Each structure stands twice: as structure tokens, then as C-alpha cells.
Structure 1
């Protein structure tokens, strides 16, 4: 899903974004797609970038002004193709090779966290898109992305989410992978890969790990269901 350097620079320039701009990202679910967009900006080295925690629904619920006029066309800027931080991405081949090893056997094996629902991970729930294999990548760990989120209801009855505070994210991770493993991630002793079905909600796990200061966090940027049907021996719970 990542664009090329040239396409990213072209899109930023057309949107009036310059390399010195502070880009603020939000979505209509609260926190859902904005972490993925933030991941993209950070991977292209645009560090001055943030999300609105709670998105547009929280903004409106707190009585902040909302503009309902059609957007105006921004003044184009010059945005040169940036440096792509390739260490933030794991490829299909990377994940296939890593999946052959149990992370318990060596700290050099990357920990793969699956952000999909538990039912999809176990292969008991149907996949949302035709042709995707059910189950999960071998030696991956189930960590549904919504465990990093808090549900809210606005005064107008609109549901939205915000990301949990770092202390609560830490508790979720300790319950999932254990305190010792978590410390290895935070200290950079082990690297971690976040994954989902399309590379979108994996961004929520990526953001949560960033908030904890994890040193070596990458995102698997391919569709794991399709890839698994080609090479992976997909694990299922019968």
C-alpha cells in the first residue's frame, strides 16, 4: 500500500504540504485509518506529523468548530522526493522467512503481532474479502487492534474510539506477550512486526508501540490472507 517516493512527494505538493509543514491527520471513526497515514508520513521521514486522538467525532463532541464549506484548493508547494526508511517495512519474503521460526527460540526472531479479530486469526470467522485464506501466519501472536482503543459515545449518540494512554497499552501488551518480552521490545532487544489483513489496522498497533517508545517496530505492508494462500502453511484452529 505504500506509494513510491515520487508519488508521495507529488501528492504532498498538490495538497500544499511542504517538508516543514506539521501535518495533522484525523478520520471519522476516531482512531482507525489515521495511524496508517501517520505511519506513511513517518516512514517517508516527515516527522512533523500527528493524529487527532478521537478524530472528527471527538472534536465535534467537545464543541470545537466544524467547517461545513466545500474545501478550497490549496496552493501547491515544492516537495522533493524524500528518503524512504525501508527498515519500517517488512516484505512478503521477510515475513515468510521469519514465520519459519518460533520467537521463543531466539531473540533474533521478529515478533509478529496480528491486529485482526481473534475469530479471523483462529480461522473461525469468515474473511471480509473473497479469496483470502482464513487462519494466521505461523508463529504470529493475536493482538486485535481494538484492544489498544477505548470506545466512546458522543452526546449525539455517535460512537468513536481513541487510543488508550501508554500505561493501559503497556498492560494490554503484558497480558498478551508477557512483561519480559515487552521490555525486550521497548529496549530494542527484539524487533516487532505489526500485521493485519491489508496493512491498515496494523497501524494502530504500530502507533501503540510508538507511544511506549519501542525501538524497532516495522509493519507488514502486504495482504497476509492472499500471501498465505501462496506460500505460508496457514495455521487454523479446527
Structure 2
């Protein structure tokens, strides 16, 4: 690797919090939001699971329900301003509400919910590192009775989506021929497994070709997480900062210095825009800003005209 110095660290506060930190906050000073999302093959209903067990006073944030309609029928796409504000109001959230996102994996879909709120300028929001399983393992209180209906709120003024953190298909196509050129182009980080990236493994969504967007780089989201299989229930957490930095540098390789000096910006992609947000959150922890290709591989590969690359390079 040709980089001469490591990725710098941000001086601002982390977007990750521990159960112990959250449990020390005054009751009523924050709202927990269960943002659990599961692949269809999981054959589970996260909303029903939420109703049976959750962090006290939590509400359920449905990433598929709070989404815009897409011409290709893609799920959990970024909502428009009115839809986003309406979802917040129905959950009793106003612009100043302090939010703690969590999921039942540990760290999986909660970063996508955080990304959504940050993209609309909601500053007071973090992710519970380890999610509901870690909360339970560490002995913090749970609610198991049916949840009460949240009060209504007003989310005003109407927020505006920060378009600079989202990339469209047209922008991705316009960038693919230049992403590894020495003079121009954004670098695209693919959060799917290396087997899916290389084309060795078939896509879980029927009918999609295997492979990756030309000139993108592989950074499996699992490389950024630590599994705690010795716990019951088990869960994942984000790696400590030093290990995050090493994983990101390994993926960027000779482009690390370009990212540091601002010559290259980063865009994250995955299968459907979900786990790309894990990479986004990891980069945020390192003080590196990045964007997200919302359609990701599903939207890209559904278009028959899209060029597809295979192999590990």
C-alpha cells in the first residue's frame, strides 16, 4: 500500500453509544427507535418481535414503509421530505428529539436509519453499538408488554434532503470509467461479500447478474464488525477505531492518500442500500465523509444496459 500516513480521526463525538451510556441518560431525554430490517429469506417479522420485546419507550421505525416509491420497485429508498416528516410526527419525533437507533442484529440496519435522519439534517441521533441483544446481555431493562401508542409531534420546518450524500444511477454510470483514473472520479466502495463482488456467488435476489460495478472497490461490511458469538443472544458491534482504520485502508490501498488529500471522494454501495450505510458509519467514525448510492447493486443490475465486472480486481 502506497499511503504514507493513516486515515485521520475526527475530533467530534462518536455516532456510536454503548448500552451503559444510554442507560445513564435521564428517562424521557431520548427516544429509542428499533430500526430492525431483515432479508425476506429470514422469514421473521421484526415488527412483531418489537411488540414482544424492546428497549423501554421504544418505537418502531420501518425502513421499508418510510420510503419513496421507485420506478423499479426498489425497497427502502430515501423518502421525500413530506414522507419523512410525516413518519417522524407519527412517532412523536420533532426536530430536536434525541434519537437512539438500534436493531436486533447488533449493528446491521440501524446505520441506515441513522443515515436517513442525518441526510435530513437531524443532528441529535446515534446508533446503539450492539443493539438490542447487547442491551439485554448487559442486563438493562426491557419492555415486554404491548407498546403504547406514541404521542403526535410536529416536525417543522419541513426538512430538506442533503442531495450531496446521495448518488443516482446516472451519476454512477458517469463515474465508472474514471473511478480509478489518477486525475478524476469518485471511489466506489462495495459492502457486499467478496464472493458476491467477484461474481463467484449468485445474488440472493432472483434474476440479478453476479458481479460488481466496474472500477468499484471491495469492502465487505462484515470486515468492519466484530461478532460476539460467546454471548446469548449473540450480536455484532462496530470495530474499535484503530481496526476500522486498518480495514478501510486495506480496501482503499493506493487510493488512501487521495482520500486524505481530498482528491477523491467516496461513495458506498451494497445490495439494496442497507449495509452500505455500515460503511458510511465506519467512515464517519474515522472523520471521512462519504455518500451512498441509494439503489445500489439491485437498481444498477436490474438495468440491462449496465456494464458488469467480475473478478476480484
Count of residue pairs the alignment pairs up: 234
Bigger Cα displacement from structure 2, 70-79 vs 37-46: 70-79
SS of residue matched to 2:160: coil
Q: Once the two structures are superposed, what CA deviation does each residue of 1:193-221 show, in whole Å capped at 9, x if it has no partner?
A: 00001000000000000000013x10000
SS of residue matched to 2:291: strand
- Equivalent residue runs for 1:111-190 within 5 Å: 111-153=187-229, 155-156=231-232, 158-178=233-253, 181-190=255-264
Aligned pair partner of 1:210 in 271, 284, 298: 284
- Alignment-derived partner of residue 83 in structure 1: 160
Partner Cα distance (1:111, 1:63) in 2: 42
Q: Once the two structures are superposed, what CA deviation does each residue of 1:163-190 show, in whole Å capped at 9, x if it has no partner?
A: 0112111111122223x63343345332
Kept after mapping to 1: 8 A contact 2:272/2:299: no
SS of residue matched to 2:113: helix
With the length of structure 1 as denominator, give the TM-score of the two structures: 0.93
Which residues of structure 2 form unaligned runs of 5+? 1-76
Report whether the alignment pairs 1:18 with 2:101. no
User: Cα–Cα, structure 1 residues 188 and 73, in superposed 2: closer, same or farther, change >3 Å?
Assistant: farther
Report whether the alignment pairs 1:220 with 2:293. yes
Kept after mapping to 1: 8 A contact 2:94/2:153: yes
Kept after mapping to 2: 8 A contact 1:33/1:200: yes
SS of residue matched to 1:199: coil
Report whether the alignment pairs 1:196 with 2:270. yes
Alpha-carbon shift at residue 86 of structure 1 (Å): 0.4
Structure 1 stretches of at least 4 aligned residues deviating more than 4 Å after TM superposition: none
- Alignment-derived partner of residue 31 in structure 1: 107
Kept after mapping to 2: 8 A contact 1:131/1:226: no
Q: Once the two structures are superposed, what CA deviation does each residue of 1:23-44 show, in whole Å capped at 9, x if it has no partner?
A: 1100000000000000000000
Partner Cα distance (2:258, 2:178) in 1: 18
With the length of structure 2 as denominator, give the TM-score of the two structures: 0.72
Kept after mapping to 2: 8 A contact 1:112/1:139: yes
Q: Once the two structures are superposed, what CA deviation does each residue of 1:46-71 show, in whole Å capped at 9, x if it has no partner?
A: 01100100000001111111111111
Alpha-carbon shift at residue 236 of structure 1 (Å): 1.7
- Alignment-derived partner of residue 4 in structure 1: 80
Partner Cα distance (2:260, 2:101) in 1: 25
Partner Cα distance (2:95, 2:222) in 1: 32
Which residues of structure 1 form unaligned runs of 5+? none
Partner Cα distance (1:152, 1:146) in 2: 13
- Alignment-derived partner of residue 180 in structure 2: 103
Partner Cα distance (1:176, 1:59) in 2: 31
